[in-house]
A and B are shown apart, each in its own frame.
Chain A
């Protein structure tokens, strides 16, 4: 509790005379403003140095970067002393694309690039127009063609051979693409004056949010076949996708409800005065304002959701994390799972960090 007693924005720190060498002055105000602070800095520097030196020794100096194919003896020699990054070039195609036919892996790679291009375009505010929706539909169709094949001379690849990063991106993107409109409907339902619709919406949101996603996924993988007429069986990936959409819908509904509450009453009344119908009122007047209010929490929900798709590992769907976990079952490389997890963590981090930066920039612009 002592650290807080000298917050940077307290007036005293700001009024210190601005003299001397700027570097020294910066050090003085930011690292050595008082004796306890100086001691803290030195301790932290020592710990940091130890950590960084340790990591550099393990991760760079003693690391093995490349080995002959399928030979982990060089890695085993430095085990405990250095990292075995050689496992990444050895396994990266499996981690990224799973058991997708080796020669056809340019197709999921292209699909991933398409996804990234779509995300990038969608962040540009100038492009937030109707055309963007058509672009999405077109690109998603193209991605399905690439993944499935069977037309235009591409060989057919069934869904159970998909894996890795494209599966993660598909689960997240379709989860959001369908969860978002569902969330809007449920949020409107929760604020509706009609008691039956309101209570159904509340029931849906509270039931889904009250249980862990893991149990929803179990339900999708185990109970779904029970629910369906016999002989009717849908793919495991699609079942997980449905669970994820339902899950996303409930969480997004709560965020959007917050936005709806922030729209001033006058806006509703003005729309009513213009004689707009319920749906036109919400589509033209209320929802655009409501969603603009909650863009930062929406992006945060997207991030949480992107990470949560990794839970499909538990029901055995080959997303990025599952392929990583499977890649290290290979006895020759079993001991080097830390390196693989760091590699996959970096991929997740890049996506989530980009989203969080974007959310930050939106917030800054909104202010």
Chain B
């Protein structure tokens, strides 16, 4: 826009220079912001009046006080003498325990069912369809109550149902054999994790080498060495024992092993089965979105089925699958808050008790929001990173 135009621009008044559209825009913005500010001020002043009338002091000082609420089933050590802050942290850990394990299990189950729906076996695909339709159309809370009632209806510990040796299902929950993890075992597991990271670095280097001279270099010996042999050697050197602890019935309860409390188990089952129905549909649509020509071309090249699926079909399907999968993971995490209905103490349940005991509504609700926003952002961040990695590189 060079000014070759000989005429000077017409002089306008200050507001006229904005033009009618800008003026209108300004008007609308001032109006909407004004309304929002007025509502917020109104609510805020009411809240301040109400809080002082009820003698509730604002601020987060209450977090240091003794919580004196029982938390039956917790991942972290907790006693009712601990502070509200620690109770809150325990609640967050409980939420994460359900969310992380739930996401992993729901992904596996959902993928299996999504693939089953595409099976050539009519019976299998019908059964998968019935599973998906039924679970999707019944409220999760209802399913959760249903599973919880079923758990409570199980026989007492003495008459526990044992599907496999060492596994007990009773009204005390699901009891599994476990390997006790102490400091020594943690060292070995830490080595395995480090080995895995090292393997990723090595594999990347191998790929760059192959890109340069075209010679394929197998990565599996490194995987074996770094992830299996190295931790094994450390384990043998340190003399770490890996004995399995079998649960045993003593008196009226079980000793040893890993106990999944009925509340936790019911919540996990409900979340996993419900979310898996949605994931199954995502996986199915993802696989169906891969054009048939890709299958044909891969068959024409004479590729093995497993190779074809891994290297050709799945990478393309994943591009369709990953974004909706992210929202399912977020849903599962948010839905874990239904735990409050069956008395599993996740972060929302702990916060609700805190709220009833202290009356610090605003602080507690903002803490819940902060926790969920952090978790959601974390999941979105990871999934976006993953999505960017697998996205189609278009030129």
Q: Are A352 and B32 in contact (CB under 8 A)?
A: no
Q: Known pairs A210-B373, A229-B49, A345-B146; list 7 more (Cβ under 8 Å).
A: A31-B123, A196-B32, A197-B29, A218-B352, A223-B365, A230-B50, A310-B139
Q: Are A321 and B368 in contact (CB under 8 A)?
A: no
Q: Are A214 and B338 in contact (CB under 8 A)?
A: yes
- Residue pairs across A and B with CB atoms within 8 Å: the count is 177
Residues of B within 8 A of A145 (CB): none
A19 close to chain B: CB less than 8 A: no
Chain A positions 11-67 with a Cβ under 8 Å from a chain B Cβ: 11, 13, 29-31, 33, 37, 40-41, 44-45, 48
With A33-B120, A212-B334, A313-B341 as given contacts, are A7 and B295 in contact (CB-CB < 8 Å)? yes
Which among B130-138, B165-173, B192-200, B248-256 touches the partner chain? B130-138
Query: Whole-angstrom distance between the alpha carbons of A29 and B146 in the complex?
Result: 38
Residues of B within 8 A of A11 (CB): 296
Residues of A within 8 A of B376 (CB): 210
B1 close to chain A: CB less than 8 A: no
Chain A positions 220-236 with a Cβ under 8 Å from a chain B Cβ: 222-223, 225-230
With A194-B25, A223-B365, A325-B145 as given contacts, are A44 and B51 in contact (CB-CB < 8 Å)? no
B239 close to chain A: CB less than 8 A: no
CB<8 Å pairs between A and B, sample of 6: A7-B118, A13-B120, A44-B123, A194-B28, A307-B137, A341-B149
Which of B29, B134, B340, B368 meets A349, CB within 8 Å? B134
Chain B positions 117-167 with a Cβ under 8 Å from a chain A Cβ: 118-124, 127, 133-134, 136-143, 145-146, 149-150, 153
A133 close to chain B: CB less than 8 A: no
A130 close to chain B: CB less than 8 A: no
Interface size class of A (residues with CB under 8 A): 35 or more
Per-residue B-contact encoding for A335-358, CB less than 8 Å = 1, 0 else: 101100100110011001100100
Residues of B within 8 A of A31 (CB): 121-123
Nearest-neighbor residue (CB-CB) of B141 within chain A: A310
With A48-B127, A196-B32 as given contacts, are A30 and B121 in contact (CB-CB < 8 Å)? yes
Q: How far is the CB of A226 from chain B (nearest CB, A)?
A: 5
Which of A48, A211, A226 meets B372, CB within 8 Å? A211
Q: Are A45 and B372 in contact (CB under 8 A)?
A: no
List of 5 A-B pairs having minimum Cβ-Cβ separation, nearest first: A30-B122, A352-B137, A212-B337, A307-B139, A212-B334
Q: Are A3 and B124 in contact (CB under 8 A)?
A: yes
Query: Whole-angstrom distance between the alpha carbons of A273 and B53 in the complex?
Result: 59
Residues of A within 8 A of B137 (CB): 303, 307, 348-349, 352-353, 356
Query: Whole-angstrom distance between the alpha carbons of A200 and B31 in the complex?
Result: 13
Which of A193, A227, A352 meets B138, CB within 8 Å? A352
Residues of B within 8 A of A8 (CB): 118, 120
Residues of B within 8 A of A5 (CB): 305, 309
Residues of A within 8 A of B29 (CB): 194-197
Query: Whole-angstrom distance between the alpha carbons of A200 and B43 in the complex?
Result: 17
A207 close to chain B: CB less than 8 A: yes
Q: Are B337 and A215 in contact (CB under 8 A)?
A: yes
- Chain B at the A interface: SS class: helix
With A31-B123, A194-B29, A311-B338 as given contacts, are A1 and B306 in contact (CB-CB < 8 Å)? yes
Q: Are B139 and A321 in contact (CB under 8 A)?
A: yes
Residues of A within 8 A of B33 (CB): 196, 200
Query: Which of B141, B150, B306, B365 counts the most A-chain CB atoms under 10 A from its CB?
Result: B141
Q: Are B122 and A226 in contact (CB under 8 A)?
A: no
B361 close to chain A: CB less than 8 A: yes
B355 close to chain A: CB less than 8 A: yes
A10 close to chain B: CB less than 8 A: yes
Which of B119, B136, B335, B373 meets A352, CB within 8 Å? B136
Residues of B within 8 A of A321 (CB): 139, 141-142, 145
A308 close to chain B: CB less than 8 A: yes
Query: Whole-angstrom distance between the alpha carbons of A286 and B52 in the complex?
Result: 50
Query: Whole-angstrom distance between the alpha carbons of A317 and B53 in the complex?
Result: 28
Which of B121, B136, B139, B338 meets A40, CB within 8 Å? B121
Per-residue B-contact encoding for A62-94, CB less than 8 Å = 1, 0 else: 000000000000000000000000000000000
Residues of B within 8 A of A225 (CB): 50
Nearest-neighbor residue (CB-CB) of A351 within chain B: B137
Residues of A within 8 A of B143 (CB): 345
Nearest-neighbor residue (CB-CB) of B372 within chain A: A211
Which of A222, A345, A348 meets B355, CB within 8 Å? A222
Q: How far is the CB of B124 from chain A (nearest CB, A)?
A: 6
A314 close to chain B: CB less than 8 A: yes
Q: Are B341 and A314 in contact (CB under 8 A)?
A: yes
A4 close to chain B: CB less than 8 A: yes
Q: How far is the CB of A101 from chain B (nearest CB, A)?
A: 27
Q: Are A210 and B28 in contact (CB under 8 A)?
A: no
Residues of A within 8 A of B36 (CB): 200
